[in-house]
Chain A
Amino acid sequence: MQLSEIKAAVNQFIDEAFSPDLSLVAWRQRLVAAGWAAPMWPKAYFGRDFSPAQVAVVNEVFQARGVVGAAQLGPRRLAAETILAHGSDAQKHRYLPKILTGEHAWCQLFSEPGSGSDLAGASTKAERQGDVWIMNGQKVWNTSAHHADFGILVARSDWDVPKHQGLSYFLINMRQPGVQVRPLRQMNGHASFNEVFLTDARVDHNDLLGQEGEGWAIATTTLSIERQGFARGRGPTPIHREITGRVFEEYAKEIAIDNEPYTWYPQREGRPDLVLQRAEATGAINDPVIRQEMAKLFCLTEAAKISANRVAAERTRADNQVLPAGSLGKLGASVIARQAAHVHTMISGAEAMLSGPESAEAGLIAETLISVPAISIAGGTDEIQKNIIAERVLGMPKEQRMDTGPFRDIARNN
């Protein structure tokens, strides 16, 4: 389809199908049925096989018309893309539409207290009993798990094979007695995450994603999607105009819930956008040492943006292939965040001791200073990104592994 044809088609669809009085779900069901909810997806699965350039046109029209699109915030995106890539035909039909309509919220159940960097060292037990899998163990750092209807779960189904081969990937219903969710408070005071305790939780064998033992390979897909999200930054929340109507009211509620865990995320990126105005407001702009540090920061932020654009362009050429460039971008985000925190500290001077709504930028600077440490840990630490870059991008020799052989015999935390 030509870009102009797309524009016309979307406009026509909105004219015919959209009404602000629809329920959010009813509207999105129409979107899904027509292939406009996820136009980048294959035609066979609710999409239109669109290229990124074509998708951009669709998004523009949605924005211009002030119309709500498919649900896409939070971990549901990770679930959707992974199911799309690895699910059976039945699983795709069962789960994808309700992700797009927002009827089902999802969470990611990967990290464990004992295995974070070493995700493949997960020791949550999955035991098969006929047509059902029984889960026991603990997960941690689960965003939005307290709102989630389903989770993507990596658990160990075989303890006698090497660790990467003994994992399986499950789609678990969170609304069951065996699943207990507790909030986890971070050092910046927010509680955006949860701990999830699985005690004889049940998963239908139909909800095994891929084959038994393929859990690690599938998890890798999820993780690269997550990493790209980091490098790209969280896009703006689709803007909706102040039009009243049921669909918008329901959408506002959904956004509020989905965005709640992420209110501090811009702060963990260091808020380089606030640097110049802070420097001007405080007079630090006249300090030659601080000017140098600011300039270093702006070199980094600008170059990162340029590089990310190149990666994105490359990606369209390489037919939406998942590139290891994600690790480099994520590492860059950490470097930028730390430099930004450093610059903010220099600009504020002793005022950097103050926190709360009456402190600089209504508390955003203080929140930045105590949130930045997260960026180099969440979603794979800097150290792990460096290992990936060195081994996969640079092709440097791998370190000798100490975790080969049956998982049962590998040293791990108690």
Chain B
Amino acid sequence: MQTLYTDDQNQFRSVVSRFLEAHATTSQARELQETASGFDQAVWHQMSGELGLVGTHLPEAYGGFGFGMIELGIVLEEMGRRLYCGPFFSSAVLSGLAVAELADEANKIELLPKIASGEERVALVLDDLNQVEGIGHQLMISDQGLLSGTAPMVIDGLSAQRLLVIAGSATGLGLYQVDKGAQGLSITPRVSVDQTRKLAEVVFVDTATQFVGRVSPEALNRFWDLASVALSHEMIGGAERLLEDTIAYTKLRVQFGRPIGSVQAIKHRCADLLLTLEFAKAATQHVSFSLAAGEEEKHHPSMVKAMVSDCYRDIAIAAIQLRGGIGFTWENDTHLWFRRAKCSEVLLGTAGYHRERMIQSLGGQDAA
């Protein structure tokens, strides 16, 4: 198992970085967050076509690039740094991972190439974004095979071209797909704190579905693990960028005849934050290295999401605080990351949830 990124991986990061530097600026984010779909078609095409980023982590056999969590993590960190707005997380990460982990062979053959090529943007409908144990309780398949129920928050639910759904049934959980035009399906945009990641409420009433795969509790947990680690990478990118920018600001901003960064209280706070970041980042990247090597430990994904949730939030709070009043203005970009941090903090489980899940993975008795 590797401990550091290889030269190739670093090379890959700079390619991704250069692309996003040009195509994912905060002024674009500000424009896109005002739109209903929240993404730029042209950038999506370039990203999926020329660069092939959308299929980074998906197997070559199904049209992907054949990389794994390491390279996916790299892409997501770079996206998090720049607040990239678009369906990468919903389609490539959530739906891509769901199909790769949960679909049966025929459906992988059908769906993964479309997702990997970016040709179809697919949203994953989960009825619970708090805890994996809650999935498939609200969305149910009837004995007649029809889907009913509500998912209150679906990432990119409105702009997606197809929906994947994890739903419960008399015989257990399954992965299904639903056409956007299906009967009994209604999708309503929701206002999100972080407008750079669009949410919609998705309601099904006796909606026809197509079966994609049976979902065992183990497979579902693995999917949740991978998704949590992927999200953690994105968050680490954002946290790192925010901290860098904040420290740069403290070096420039003068009060009392000196840069505020020369004040010990501020240095100490930044040093503390760097420690938090370093631990969270090292852990996150390590978990992806171990996943790639097939040597992961069961408690690691939750450990990572718990640490990263706290870390990103704390850095975001400090990023505003250390800018003073300017950090609280709309014009300043800091709040865009702050919003992303607040939403990512709770997406796919709060730190509290993941700490409990980690302890249980370590063999600690269930508190309940």
Residues of chain A at the chain B interface (Cβ within 8 Å): 111, 113-118, 121, 140-141, 184-187, 189, 287-290, 338, 345-346, 348-356, 358-359, 366, 369-370, 373-374, 376-378, 381-383, 386, 401-403, 410-413
Contact = CB atoms under 8 A, between A and B. Distances in A.
Contacts of A140: 325
B152 interface: yes
Contacts of A412: 254, 257
Nearest 9 interchain pairs by C-beta? A403-B257, A356-B191, A187-B335, A350-B129, A185-B330, A118-B255, A402-B257, A410-B257, A402-B258
A65 to B, nearest CB: 41
A89 to B, nearest CB: 36
A366 B265 contact: no
B187 to A, nearest CB: 15
Given A187-B332, A352-B342, A403-B258, 12 more contacts: A117-B324, A185-B330, A187-B338, A349-B350, A349-B353, A350-B130, A350-B348, A370-B339, A373-B338, A401-B256, A412-B257, A413-B254
B20 interface: no
Contacts of B367: 288
A353 B194 contact: yes
Interface in B148-182: 152-153
Contact of B192 (A348, A354, A402): A354
Contacts of B254: 114, 411-413
A348 B342 contact: no
Contacts of B321: 373, 376-377, 381-382
Contacts of B132: none
Contact of B193 (A289, A369, A410, A411): A369
B325 A338 contact: no
B9 interface: no
Interface string B228-259: 00000000000000000000000001111110
13 contacts: A117-B324, A187-B320, A187-B334, A187-B338, A345-B342, A350-B128, A352-B343, A353-B193, A353-B194, A353-B342, A354-B153, A376-B321, A403-B257
Interface string B299-327: 00000000000000000010011001111
Given A184-B329, A355-B193, A370-B193, A348 B346 contact: yes
B12 interface: no
B325 A354 contact: no
SS class, residues of chain B in contact with chain A: mixed
Contact of A290 (B317, B345, B352): B352
A203 B238 CA distance: 48
A41 B58 CA distance: 75
Contacts of A185: 329-331
B365 to A, nearest CB: 14
B324 A402 contact: no
Given A353-B343, A354-B193, A355-B191, A187 B328 contact: yes
Nearest to B323: A377
B306 to A, nearest CB: 12
B274 interface: no
A32 B346 CA distance: 54
Contacts of B332: 187
Nearest to B253: A413
B214 interface: no
Contacts, number: 141
Given A117-B324, A366-B193, A370-B342, A383 B350 contact: no
Nearest to A386: B265
A116 B325 contact: yes
Nearest to A114: B254
Nearest to A268: B328
A352 B329 contact: no
A258 B338 CA distance: 30
Contacts of A352: 193, 342-343, 345-346
B329 A186 contact: yes
A304 to B, nearest CB: 20
B256 A354 contact: no
Given A116-B255, A358-B190, A412-B257, A187 B329 contact: yes
Contacts of B329: 184-187
Contact of B346 (A111, A289, A349, A401): A349
Given A338-B317, A413-B253, A373 B327 contact: yes
Contacts of A413: 253-254
Nearest to A141: B325
A410 B152 CA distance: 56
Contact of B257 (A116, A345, A373, A401): A401
B287 to A, nearest CB: 22
Nearest to B345: A345
Contacts of B342: 345, 352-353, 369-370
Nearest to B339: A370
A366 B339 CA distance: 10
Contact of B350 (A118, A346, A366): A346
A373 B320 contact: yes
B347 A345 contact: no
B266 interface: yes
B199 interface: yes
Nearest to B258: A402
A345 to B, nearest CB: 6
- Candidate in A114, A290, A370 with the most chain B CB atoms within 10 angstroms: A370
A412 B254 CA distance: 5
A177 to B, nearest CB: 26
Given A186-B330, A189-B330, A338-B317, A381 B253 contact: no
Nearest to A289: B352
Nearest to A383: B265
Given A346-B352, A354-B191, A402-B258, A374 B328 contact: yes
A42 to B, nearest CB: 36
A370 B338 contact: yes
Contacts of A349: 129-130, 346, 350, 353
Interface in B173-214: 190-194, 199
Contacts of B331: 185
B346 A377 contact: no
- Candidate in B129, B153, B330, B332 with the most chain A CB atoms within 10 angstroms: B330
Contacts of B192: 353-355
Interface in B269-320: 317, 320
Interface in B27-64: none
Contacts of A113: 326
B240 to A, nearest CB: 20
Given A186-B330, A358-B190, A117 B255 contact: yes
Contacts of B335: 187, 370
B246 to A, nearest CB: 13
Contacts of A370: 193, 335, 338-339, 342
